[in-house]
Amino acid sequence: MINYKDRSTILVMVVILVIGITGGYSYAHNSDINAQRTLFSAIMPIRDKTSSYKYVSSLLAYDVPENKTIAEYKPLHDMISSYISTQKSNGKLTQASVYYRSLDKGNWVGVNENEKYVPASLFKVPILMGYLKDAEEDPNIMSKKLKYEGPDQNANESIKPSAFAQPGKEYDVKSLLDYMIKYSDNNATYALFAATDKNSFAEIFSDLGIVLPTDLSGGDFISVKDYSLFFRILYNSTYLTKDFSDQALGLMTQSDFNEGIVAGVPQGTVVAHKFGEYAALDSNGQTTERELHDCGIVYGPKAYLLCVMTKGQNLDDLKTTIQHISEQVYKTVG
């Protein structure tokens, strides 16, 4: 995927390619030129399909194929692949996927990047974006009062929120968004989602080419590559205004989950991220498999996007997997 900030890089590459072909500087073999042409022809725009404008079509990002042959990323790809294979062989993991993207250059590399997972609490980011999108039109929505009526939705979570909205108590939308993102509070999420226009929510996914299933209660349907789009359009403020994009990412820097990506980078490194956990249960209510994911932007010396999704039996093993991958990525490119 290549976004607005990547377009200058694309244009420079195109100019160089054109000059090389037409000006007599093409020293590459025909096969190399054909490969470049194939790469450029595969670049596809992702546009906002919900725009109400008659004469414009807003560009959200660009989709380009991965290029594992980029020399600087091959060691990273091989290291991640090897580590995942080792973890699986040792019974620490049944599946893992990784998507890394340089936010400076736009180059990316993935390992099992198209495998599908249950997003679980990763869903909370598009809910946040939906409310901020509405706030662009009506700022008063942030002070609207909502209440969650029902049992505590955090009771069965393995990673429990350190603070949460109390059932039966009224909160304004801004406070509920804070609970949902900072602490991954499910009570706040239920209150917010119940008041959401479901069609508008689904459009956030369809705009990005992500198929949202009718039943959101479970089932693998999102990949690290697809989910990373939410962070890309926030970083480049191509969906929300700059103010609201900055506000969304700023809120995610305050997440109190520090056992995944954050644990793998030097202390004090700013990370805007969201985690999600899911437990698959059998007919007797026993856990058969766990999923743990962590995705976000690491604001190191070079900002980059990292998304890791995992499946396995032991939650601590999954945390360790994400932490190790984060650490190795930072050492390699951070």
- 21 assigned to some structural domain: yes
Q: Does residue 200 lie within any of the structural domains?
A: yes
Same-domain pairing of 83 and 58: no
| DSSP-derived 3-state class of residue 24 | coil
DSSP codes, 122-145: GGHHHHHHHHHHHHHH-GGGGG-E
Q: Do 99 and 214 lie in a common domain?
A: yes
Whether 152 maps to a domain, the answer reads no
Give the pLDDT of residue 64: 58
Let me know whether 200 and 294 are in one domain.
yes
Q: Are residues 42 and 92 in the same domain?
A: no
Residues 98, 308 contacting (CB under 8 angstroms): yes
Residue 163 lies in a domain: no
Distance between CA atoms of 122 and 113, rounded to whole angstroms? Answer: 16
Q: What is the pLDDT of residue 261?
A: 98
pLDDT tens digits for 268-295?
Answer: 999 999 999 999 999 998 999 999 999 9
pLDDT at 65: 57
CB 259 within 8 A of CB 318: no
pLDDT value, residue 298: 98
Q: What is the DSSP string of 59-125?
A: EEEEE----TT-GGGHHHHHHHHHHHHHHHHTTS-SEEEEEEEETTT--EEEESTT--B--GGGGHH
pLDDT higher than threshold 70 for residue 302 = yes
The answer to whether position 155 is within a domain reads: no
Q: Which residue segment(s) compose the domain that 53 sits in?
A: 4-62
Residues 43 and 80 in one domain: no
Name the residue type at position 26.
Answer: S
Lowest mean pLDDT among 87-101, 106-120, 165-179, 203-217: 203-217
CATH of the domain at 133: 3.40.710.10
Structural domains of the chain, count: 2
Select the highest-mean-pLDDT range: 29-33, 55-59, 245-249.
245-249
Same domain, yes or no: 205 and 265:
yes
Domain end (from 14, 39, 62) = 62
Contact between residue 307 and residue 109 where contact means Cβ atoms under 8 Å apart: no
- Determine, yes or no, domain membership for 160: no
Same domain, 229 and 128: yes
Lowest mean pLDDT among 85-89, 117-121, 140-144, 211-215: 211-215
Task: Based on the fold, state whether residues 228 and 274 are members of the same structural domain.
Answer: yes
Q: Quick check: is 110 in a domain?
A: yes
Q: Is 325 contained in some domain? A: yes
Residue 309 vs residues 135, 197, 295: alpha-carbon distances, Å: 31, 28, 8
Both 267 and 293 in a single domain?
yes
